Amino acid sequence: MRILVVEDDENLNRQLSEALKESGYVVDQAFDGEEGHYLGETEPYDAVILDIGLPEMDGITVVEKWRAAGKGMPVLMLTARDRWSDKVAGIDAGADDYVAKPFHVEEVLARVRALIRRAAGHSSSEIVCGPVKLDTKASKATVNGTALKLTSHEFRLLSYLMHHMGQVVSRTELIEHMYDQDFDRDSNTIEVFVGRLRKKIGVDLIETVRGLGYRMQAPSDVR
C-alpha cells in the first residue's frame, strides 16, 4: 500500500512517514500544496494524509482540485485549527476524514487503515481469504493460524492482493502501489515475489490471469 504525506512541518512529516513505513506502507512525501497536488495528480495512492494549512496551495484547494479531476483516493486531512467550519470545509471539499492537531500518531495510523479498508470494501481490520488471514492493525499475516514470515515486499504484495480480492490486478498496478516514486521499478520482480508468496502460503490462492495480471481468491472461488 502506498501513502502520500503532504505536511510542511518537516519534523511532523518525518514522524508520520517513519511510522507508516514501520507499519509496512510505501511512503512519498511532499512539503507544500503544489508539490502534493502534483504527486496526487500523477501517482496512484491508496490514501493521502493532507495538512489543511500548506504553503503555495492550501489543503482544501488541493483536495478540491483532485476531486474535480476525478481522483478518488481516500484523504485524511490534518488541521491545527479549532474552528468547526474548517473541518466542515475540508469534508465538503472531498476529504474523507480529519484529525485535529496535536494528535497521537497511532490515531492517524488507525484512521488511515480504516480509510483504505473501506475504500476496498472491507469493514473489519482482519481480511480473510481461505486459510490466510491479514491483520491490518498488526501488519501481520497467518495461514491456518501460523504466522507467515514475509519480507516487506512480500507483505505489501499480499496486502494489496487481499485488499482487492477477486479483482484482477496488473503487474503495473502492483508496481505502482509497492514502490515509491524514486525506486528503480522492474516488472520482473513482481513474478519473483508472487512465486515466493505462493510457496510460503502453501495454498493455491493466487491465480495468474494470462496477459492481465494476478487475482487472489478463496479456494471455493478459484477458477
Q: Please tell me whether residues 142 and 113 are part of one structural domain.
A: no
pLDDT for res 223: 45
Q: Please tell me whether residues 63 and 23 are part of one structural domain.
A: yes
- Burial of 21: CB neighbours in 10 Å, binned 0-12, 13-18, 19+: middle
Q: Please tell me whether residues 145 and 210 are part of one structural domain.
A: yes
The whole domain housing 154 covers: 126-221
pLDDT for res 86: 80
CA–CA gap between residue 52 and residue 200 (Å, rounded): 43
CATH code of residue 191: 1.10.10.10
pLDDT for res 105: 96
Q: Please tell me whether residues 105 and 177 are part of one structural domain.
A: no
- Burial of 58: CB neighbours in 10 Å, binned 0-12, 13-18, 19+: middle
Amino acid at 209: V
Count of structural domains, the chain: 2
Residue 121: CB atoms within 10 A of its CB come to 10
4: cell is 502520500
- Burial of 123: CB neighbours in 10 Å, binned 0-12, 13-18, 19+: exposed
Q: Please tell me whether residues 150 and 211 are part of one structural domain.
A: yes
The DSSP output letter for 45 is: -
Which of 30, 40, 37, 38 has its CA nearest to residue 7? 30
Residue that terminates a domain, selected from 119, 145, 176: 119
Q: Please tell me whether residues 24 and 131 are part of one structural domain.
A: no
Residue that terminates a domain, selected from 119, 146, 180: 119
Q: Please tell me whether residues 106 and 153 are part of one structural domain.
A: no
pLDDT for res 222: 47
Q: Please tell me whether residues 35 and 18 are part of one structural domain.
A: yes
CATH code of residue 71: 3.40.50.2300
pLDDT for res 180: 75
Q: Please tell me whether residues 142 and 43 are part of one structural domain.
A: no
Q: Please tell me whether residues 85 and 149 are part of one structural domain.
A: no
How far apart are the two ends of the chain, measured CA to CA in Å?
26
The one-digit pLDDT tens for each residue of the chain (223 residues) are: 999 999 999 999 999 999 999 999 999 999 999 999 999 999 999 999 999 999 999 999 999 999 999 999 999 999 876 677 888 888 999 999 999 988 999 999 999 999 999 998 888 889 999 999 999 999 999 999 999 999 999 999 999 999 999 999 999 999 999 887 666 666 678 899 999 999 999 989 999 999 999 999 976 654 4
pTM of the shown model = 0.85
Residue 116: CB atoms within 10 A of its CB come to 20
